[in-house]
Structure 1
Amino acid sequence: MIFQNQNLKAVTVLIRAADAVHDAIKRDVAGYGLNATEFSVLELLYHQGRQPIQAIGKKVLIASSSITYVVDKLEHKGYVEREACKEDRRVTYALLTKEGHSLMDRIFPEHELQMNKVFASLAEDEVAELIQKLKKVGYEAQESDGAESRKNEEKERYA
């Protein structure tokens, strides 16, 4: 009998599933003239309001070096504007413009329907269980390199 390590199989399945979901998101938002990163930033600003540009990268899982470029593109499209912080000159906020809000009011419900289709084969309790189990895997992966401080910093990634 050949022993198959289920943990290694789980990694492969997880990565393939994540890639497939990411591809579904890319296809969906491409119809609105956006890439997945731009949509992620718009979605963050739509649901959480203005954000310090420096903090956006951690929240939408993109490299901090890319944030300025993405915000520039969204600003050029008229969806985002920058606002200087009055208390701290080092901080600049990104926030949705009226056009950005209007866009998200129009496209977010459609995006939500597309994501519902991605998870259509799971019951609501199965989705909740999936979320809980993926969080556990994520926390363990963070701990596996012994970087306890990094675990605490990045715990919000899975919130």
Structure 2
Amino acid sequence: MRSEQLVVSLIARIRRKANKLIINELKKHNIRGLDTSHGDIIGALFMKNVLTMNGLANIIEKDKSTVTALVNKLANLGYVERVKSEIDNRVTFITLTKKSKALWPVFVNISEKLLSTVYKGFSNTEKDMLIKLLSKIDKNL
């Protein structure tokens, strides 16, 4: 098999390894029940503070039913809460709880560890090129 045929397989393998590192780091901090998909939602809420379900679905690029399942689990674990819009009862806002906000330093630490592991031995030029090439693949799909 030619090397260019391995790109999707290699990206998938990297994703699995990155997810494993994240899950192991969460366990080290005694954070149970969270998956990397939950991290996408928590990260989006840290950036935006409050989002609708549709807003979350757009940001993390998952369908609404998947986001609903993820938010339900996060709510059951006490990491997010739902707040009904006072203007439109059909709209529900999702926001972080104090419990999840308290984890911000842990999430930052895990993110820094992941990035330092991923980019170990890379020059700044190589990092920039990697991001440029992966972004091009992303746009192609």
Using the size of structure 1 for normalisation, the TM-score is 0.73
In the alignment, structure 1 residue 15 sits paired with structure 2 residue 12:
yes
Q: Which runs of 5+ in 1 are unaligned?
A: 142-159
CA shift at 1:39, angstroms?
2.1
CA distance in 1, matches of 2:25, 2:74: 18
- Alignment CA distance shift 1:15-1:62 (3 Å): same
In the alignment, structure 1 residue 29 sits paired with structure 2 residue 42:
no
Aligned positions, number: 137
CA distance in 1, matches of 2:121, 2:88: 48
2:109 aligns with 110
2:69 aligns with 69
Residue correspondence of structure 1 range 87-126 to structure 2 within 5 A:
87-104=87-104, 106-115=105-114, 116-126=116-126
- Alignment CA distance shift 1:27-1:72 (3 Å): same
Match for 1:55: what amino acid? G
How well do the aligned residues superpose, as a CA RMSD in angstroms? 2.1
Identity percentage of aligned residues: 22
Q: Which has more radius of gyration?
A: 1
1:41 aligns with 41
Question: Per-residue CA shift, 1:102-142, capped at 9, x if unaligned?
Answer: 122x312221222122322323332222111111111122x
Superposed structure 1 runs of 4+ greater than 3 Å apart:
none
CA distance in 2, matches of 1:18, 1:84: 35
Question: Per-residue CA shift, 1:48-100, capped at 9, x if unaligned?
Answer: 22111123234224442222222122222222111122333322111112222
Query: Which secondary structure state, in structure 1, belongs to the residue aligned with residue 103 of structure 2?
Result: helix
Match for 2:113: what amino acid? Q
CA distance in 1, matches of 2:13, 2:121: 17
